Amino acid sequence: MSHWRLNNPRAGRVKTALAKRVKHQPRHAFCAERAITALWDELVSVSTRPMYRAGTTDLAVMSVRRGINVWCRDGKFFWNDVFGSTVTHPASDPAGAAARLTPAPARQTPEPGRHALSLAPA
């Protein structure tokens, strides 16, 4: 038993033409979600705040702390710092981006009367 859709000799050519038009990314293509996951893994060890992330292969975002969201697209991380300027960093270096995103520890002010170096003779 035959069917006109199954035995149509042109169906193979149509499928081949459609397959050539569909753009598939190669296996080694950049994946924004994997880059955000790598950054997440770097930051989760030093951050105590809850962080949120979402994304696809083309675009991903992660909320690091209040007011700072890191976006990943086209092989780059980018975010706005606390002063409002845009910071970019290559997505191939999540450890470097994590170091730039981790806030500097608060400076300790010396207590009066307690100094690390005493000049008085012992």
pLDDT at 29: 72
Q: What is the pLDDT of residues 47-62, one digit of tens each?
A: 767 778 888 888 999 9
DSSP string, the chain: ---TTTS-HHHHHHHHHHHHHS----TTS--HHHHHHHHHHHHHTT--S--EEEE-SSEEEEEEETTEEEEEETTEEEEE-TTS-EEEEETT-HHHHHHHHSPPPPPPPPPTT--SS--S--
Q: Which residue has the higher pLDDT, 21 or 116?
A: 21
Q: What is the pLDDT of residues 92-120, one digit of tens each?
A: 999 999 988 887 655 556 566 555 555 55
